[in-house]
Chains A and B, each alone.
Chain A
Amino acid sequence: MTTVQATAATRDALGPTLVRLQQSGAVDLVVVDADLGKSTTSRKFKDAYPERFFTVGVAEQNMVSVAGGLATLGYTVFASTFAVFIEHAFDQLRMSVAQPRLNVKIVASHGGVSTGEDGASAQSIEDIALFSSLATFKVGVPADVVEAEAMIEAAAKDPGPWYIRTGRPKLPVLYTDGSRYEIGKAGRLREGNDVTLVAYGLMVERALRAADVLAAEGIQARVLNIATIRPLDTAALEAAARETGAIVVAEEHLSHTGLGAMAAQALATRHPVPMEFVAIPDRYGESGTWDQVLEIMGLTPQGVVEAARRVVARKRA
Chain B
Amino acid sequence: MVTTEQTDLQSVTRRIRRHIVNQVYAAKSGHIGGSMSSTEILSVLYGRILRHDPKRPDWAERDRFIMSKGHCTPLQYAILAEFGYIPVDELSTFRQKGSRLQGHSVLGKPAGVENSAGSLGMGLSFGLGIRLGLRLRGQDPHVYVLMGDGEQQEGQVWEAAMAAAHHGVDRLVALIDRNGIQNDDFTKNTMESTPLDEKYRAFGWEVRTDVDGHDLAAVEAALTWARDVRGKPACVIFDTVKGKGVSFMENNPNFHGAPPTDDEYARAMQELPA
Contacts of A30 in B (CB 8 A): 133, 136
> B103-133 vs A: 1/0 string, CB under 8 Å?
0001110000011111101100111111111
Cβ contact within 8 Å between A100 and B106: yes
Query: B162 to nearest A CB, angstroms?
Result: 7
Docked Cα-Cα span, A59 to B160, in Å, equals: 9
Provide the bound-state CA to CA distance between A61 and B125, in Å: 8
Q: Does B216 lie at the interface of the complex (its beta carbon under 8 Å from any beta carbon of A)?
A: no
The reply to whether B125 and A66 contact each other, CB–CB distance below 8 Å, is yes
> Cβ of A69 and Cβ of B159 under 8 Å apart?
no
- Asked whether A99 lies within 8 Å of B116 as measured between CB atoms, the reply is yes
Contact: B163 with A57, CB < 8 Å? yes
Partner of A91, one of B119, B126, B163: B119
Residue B188 is within 8 A (CB to CB) of chain A in the complex = no
Inter-subunit contact A69/B156 (CB<8 Å): no
The residue that B133 contacts in the complex, of A56, A64, A73, A94, with Cβ under 8 A, is A73
Which of A57, A64, A100 lies in contact with B108, CB distance below 8 A? A100
Give Cα A91–Cα B126 distance, bound, in whole angstroms.
13
Indicate if B9 sits at the interface (CB-CB under 8 A).
no
Q: Does A72 contact B (CB under 8 A)?
A: yes
Bound CA–CA A62/B127 (angstroms): 11
Is B195 located at the chain interface by the 8 A CB criterion?
no
Shortest distance between the CB of A27 and any CB in chain B (Å): 14
User: A236 in the interface, Cβ–Cβ < 8 Å?
Assistant: no
Check B132–A70 contact: CB distance below 8 A. yes
Q: Which of A66, A68, A99 contacts B163 (CB 8 A)?
A: A66
A183 to B156, CA, bound (A): 34
Report if B166 contacts A (CB, 8 A). Answer: yes
Q: A92-B122, A95-B116, A96-B116 are in contact. Are A57 and B133 (CB under 8 A)?
A: no
User: Roughly how many angstroms separate A95 CA and B125 CA in the complex, as a whole number?
Assistant: 12
Contacts of A71 in B (CB 8 A): 129
Question: Whole-angstrom distance from the CB of B33 to the nearest CB of chain A?
Answer: 22
Are A59's CB and B129's CB within 8 A?
A: no
A175 in the interface (beta carbon within 8 A): no
- Residues in A whose Cβ lies below 8 Å from that of B27: none
- Measured between alpha carbons, how far is A32 from B126 in the docked complex, in Å? 13
Question: How distant is the Cα of A71 from the Cα of B133 in the complex, in angstroms?
Answer: 8
> Which residues of B sit under 8 angstroms from A65, Cβ to Cβ?
122, 125-126, 129, 156, 160
Closest 6 CB pairs of A and B: A69-B129, A65-B125, A62-B159, A66-B129, A59-B159, A100-B107
Please name 10 pairs of A and B residues whose Cβ atoms are closer than 8 Å in the assembled complex, sorted by A. Answer: A59-B162, A61-B122, A62-B156, A65-B126, A66-B163, A68-B129, A69-B127, A69-B132, A70-B130, A95-B118
